[in-house]
Structure 1
Amino acid sequence: MTLPPQIKIPATYMRGGTSKGVFFRLQDLPESCQQPGPARDQLFLRVIGSPDPYGKHIDGMGGATSSTSKCVILSKSSRPDHDVDYLYGQVSIDKAFVDWSGNCGNLSTAAGAFALHAGLVDPARIPENGVCTVRIWQANIGKTIIAHVPVSHGQVQETGEFELDGVTFPAAEIVLEFLDPADEGECDGGGAMFPTGRLVDDLEVPGVGTFKATLINAGIPTIFVNAADIGYTGSELQEAINNDTAALMRFETIRAHGALRMGLIKTLDEAATRQHTPKIAFVAPAADYKASSGKTVAGKDIDLQVRALSMGKLHHAMMGTCAVAIGTAAAIPGTLVNIAAGGGERTAVRFGHPSGTLRVGAEAKQINGDWTVSRAIMSRSARVLMEGWIRVPADSF
């Protein structure tokens, strides 16, 4: 009996924001995986170690959480005024599929840094010392992201003093700009940023209840509900929700009905094969609480509290794309996020999440009755953790 050997594929393991993922240059992938399709999906499943009925990812690079089950492909961009194309795959932990329906805001940070590490940016555009502006085309959602990556001696400056709640050690700050982040073409509803044409909807969920909800497409499709309406304070940490099977099922039911209302799916059954989007989050006014690190977050230091679920579990911090949705919704008077933050007009908001706080800014304005957002801005950090080759059995894809 002849058994297949393992093959080696050049890869880099990176942290970006509060997430980690395996990064590839498109040109380094096996030929059958250089285009979308089953071969690429099967490769990424094997790289991460999914599907894993044990929920541990022992036989792969994944970390068995939504924050660590990720793969990224970068290539030189053929689009004018862009340096790289960035494609993101969210790998399911317990099912055999890769979700390509949205972006990862945290790994967008690492995408900018990896573009430099991987030699995908014109050397003439890289300063010897200073900040390199990396122009990224986010291929999943067709949007532009600008990453301002610090450079020292012609290389990415990774170490620094910038602290990010949810990340243990400080690093160099990378500023991200998400340009025109509203997903205008995603939904069938009546509004561009708000698919139903309303800032707040009554979301009816049979068997669960009817909830006030802000359904928004900015950064990533997101369903916001009030924490109090679903029996929470907004100060919850992961263990309060992720160990409650009934609560997780209720969140998934609400998410599925929200996805249907947003026009993202045509039947409720489709939600099971679209785990990455939309996100569901709940908001509450600012209050004192203890973060997962044990430190106290003072209510006076934040504008509101937000908790969000990703891939069926409460996130340990906050997804970057969901932070864009939070910043955008906070900037628009009348949304649930804006109301939780105290109402009124604002261009930035600092919110509390399970690991601490995060500040995000957004520039939103109303034109002919419709809201638009020109950009959202936040700071993250990124670092190479390991580089070399991924090994997978040759019959994996």
Structure 2
Amino acid sequence: MTHAAQIRIPATYMRGGTSKGVFFNLSDLPEAAQLPGAARDALLLRVIGSPDPYEKQIDGMGGATSSTSKTVILSRSIKAGHDVDYLFGQVSIDKPFIDWSGNCGNLSAAVGSFAISAGLVDAARVPRNGVAVVRIWQVNIGKTIIAHVPITDGQVQETGDFELDGVTFPAAEVQLEFMDPAAEEEGAGGSMFPTGNLVDDLEVPGVGTFKATLINAGIPTIFVNAADIGYTGTELQGDINSDPKALARFETIRAYGALRMGLIDRIDEAAKRQHTPKVAFVAPPASYTASSGKAVAAGDLDLLVRALSMGKLHHAMMGTAAVAIGTAAAIPGTLVNLAAGGGERSSVRFGHPSGTLRVGAEATQADGEWTVVKAIMSRSARVLMEGWVRVPGDAF
């Protein structure tokens, strides 16, 4: 019996924020995978090492967590006024599917760097020294992201002294602007608050009824009060992820929140839409010890936030969820805003399992409708490895 030989595909393994993934230039993919569809999904699943019933992704590039089971495809932008088109795929670890329904805010920090190094940005837009402004079209959600990428001697500068909780080593700071982050294509009529309310009573059969802020900004997110579901907001990964019953409750909350937001038509559809929406719980400031052993003081925080991604408590905070946090915090009356003390604010510093993060947002209200011009936060990015990724030739 003969077996197909392996093929090799140019790829770059990158960290962006507190995530990492395999980056591809669209033109480098095999022809069958250059268009959306089963062939592309099969190829990327094999690259990452999914589906893996052992949930380790040993036979692929994935790291067996939602933060490290990611793929990115980039190309010169076909959108006027943009440099690069950015398509993100969240790869399921144990199931044979890729969720294309949302963005990865953390990997957004690496998009500009990759695009410049791959020649996807016009050379005239990249200074010899200074900051390159890369205009990114986020294809999954149809939004603009502006990345400010430091450049030294004509090359992307990756080293520096910017520290990001959840990332072990310092690196160069990359500032990101998420423009008009409300997800227009999601939910009812494209509203930032698809139910029309800043706070809803969310009824979840078998769990209970509690207050929730359902928002489409950065990524569709369901915010609930930690105390209402039996938590303090100081929990670390082991407190949640080691409890199967807790994870099942969160998934049920997520499913009914998705239904209420109009993201799905039936509860059973939530299982095939794992990346969105996110579910998070908030609480007023409190001191705690981060997963690194670092002491986090209540006085350094505006609020506490814990969020789940792909069915598990995230080790830090998803970038897109941080956009949702900053947006909701800027709007008086949301659960996020109330946990931070209420009132008007243009930025918040929140505590997450790995430490703290500051995010800003500019919110305005007109005719009773809230809009957010942009959300801003800083991340860092670094190339970990570049060359070729190999997969069996019959894998897609």
Using the size of structure 1 for normalisation, the TM-score is 0.99
Aligned to 1:218: 217
Q: How does 1:190-229 map to 2 (within 5 A)?
A: 192-229=191-228
Aligned to 2:125: 125
The 2-side partners of 1:186 and 1:67 are apart by 23
Aligned to 1:115: 115
The 2-side partners of 1:158 and 1:373 are apart by 30
Aligned to 1:350: 349
Aligned to 2:322: 323
Deviation, 1:378, is 0.1
Q: The residue matched to 2:67 in structure 1 has which SS?
A: coil
Q: The residue matched to 2:165 in structure 1 has which SS?
A: coil
Aligned to 2:168: 168
The 1-side partners of 2:90 and 2:162 are apart by 27
Q: How does 1:90-101 map to 2 (within 5 A)?
A: 90-101=90-101
Aligned to 1:37: 37
Aligned to 1:56: 56
Aligned to 1:259: 258
Q: How many residues align?
A: 396
C-alpha offsets along residues 30-85 of structure 1, whole Å, 9 cap, x if unaligned? 00000000000000100000000001110000001000000000000121110000
Q: The residue matched to 1:381 in structure 2 has which SS?
A: strand
Residue 147 of structure 1 aligns to which amino acid in structure 2?
A
The 1-side partners of 2:228 and 2:6 are apart by 52
Aligned to 1:247: 246
The 2-side partners of 1:200 and 1:275 are apart by 23
C-alpha offsets along residues 176-219 of structure 1, whole Å, 9 cap, x if unaligned? 00000001231126x71000000000000011100100000000
Q: How does 1:60-79 map to 2 (within 5 A)?
A: 60-79=60-79
Residue 24 of structure 2 aligns to which amino acid in structure 1?
F
Deviation, 1:148, is 0.1
Aligned to 2:81: 81
The 2-side partners of 1:295 and 1:303 are apart by 18
Q: Structure 1: which 4+ aligned runs deviate by more than 6 Å?
A: none
The 2-side partners of 1:192 and 1:256 are apart by 19
Residue 145 of structure 2 aligns to which amino acid in structure 1?
I
The 2-side partners of 1:340 and 1:332 are apart by 12
Segments of 5+ residues of structure 2 without an aligned counterpart are none
C-alpha offsets along residues 126-161 of structure 1, whole Å, 9 cap, x if unaligned? 100000000000000000000000000101000000
The 1-side partners of 2:206 and 2:144 are apart by 40
Aligned to 2:11: 11
Residue 207 of structure 2 aligns to which amino acid in structure 1?
V
The 2-side partners of 1:78 and 1:212 are apart by 42
Aligned to 1:340: 339
Q: How does 1:275-314 map to 2 (within 5 A)?
A: 275-314=274-313
C-alpha offsets along residues 101-143 of structure 1, whole Å, 9 cap, x if unaligned? 0000000001111111111100111100000000000000000
The 2-side partners of 1:55 and 1:38 are apart by 22
CA contact (8 A) 2:141 2:185 kept: no
Using the size of structure 2 for normalisation, the TM-score is 0.99
Residue 310 of structure 2 aligns to which amino acid in structure 1?
M
Are residue 152 (structure 1) and residue 152 (structure 2) matched?
Answer: yes
Residue 91 of structure 1 aligns to which amino acid in structure 2?
V
Aligned to 1:271: 270
Aligned to 1:374: 373
Segments of 5+ residues of structure 1 without an aligned counterpart are none
The 1-side partners of 2:99 and 2:386 are apart by 25
The 2-side partners of 1:264 and 1:145 are apart by 23
The 1-side partners of 2:17 and 2:336 are apart by 23
Aligned to 1:186: 186
The 2-side partners of 1:74 and 1:258 are apart by 32
The 2-side partners of 1:383 and 1:264 are apart by 34
C-alpha offsets along residues 231-283 of structure 1, whole Å, 9 cap, x if unaligned? 00000000000010000000000000000000000000000000000000000
The RMSD of aligned alpha carbons is 0.6
